[in-house]
Structure 1
Amino acid sequence: MESPIKLFPDSIFTVDDAGEVALLHAPPRTPAGHALRWGWLVPLLAIIATWNLASPGFTALLFFLLLSYPLTAVILANWIFPATLYQAHFDDAGLHLAIGHAQDPTADAQLFIPFEDITALVTLDHYRNMGRYGTSWFRSYIFQTKTAYGRKPHVQINTKRSAQSVHSVLQRLARLPAAQHIQLPPMVSIGNPPSPERLRAEREERQRRLQGEV
Structure 2
Amino acid sequence: MQTRSLELPEVRQARLERSFELHVAPLNRWAEQVQAESGRWLPFFDPVDGGVLARVLLLLETPGPAVSRTRFVSMDNPDGTAENLRCLLHLSGLRRREAAMWNVVPWQMSENGVVTPWPGQYAEAVPLTQYLLGLLPDLQVVVLVGRHAEKVWPLVGSPLPALVCPHPSPQNVNPRREAATLALGTLVEAHRTVSGTRKGAIPASEE
When the two structures are superposed, what TM-score results if normalisation uses the length of structure 2? 0.24
Larger helix fraction of residues: 2
Q: Could you tell me the TM-score, scaled by structure 1's length?
A: 0.24
Hey, which of these two has a bigger chunk of strand by percent? Answer: 1
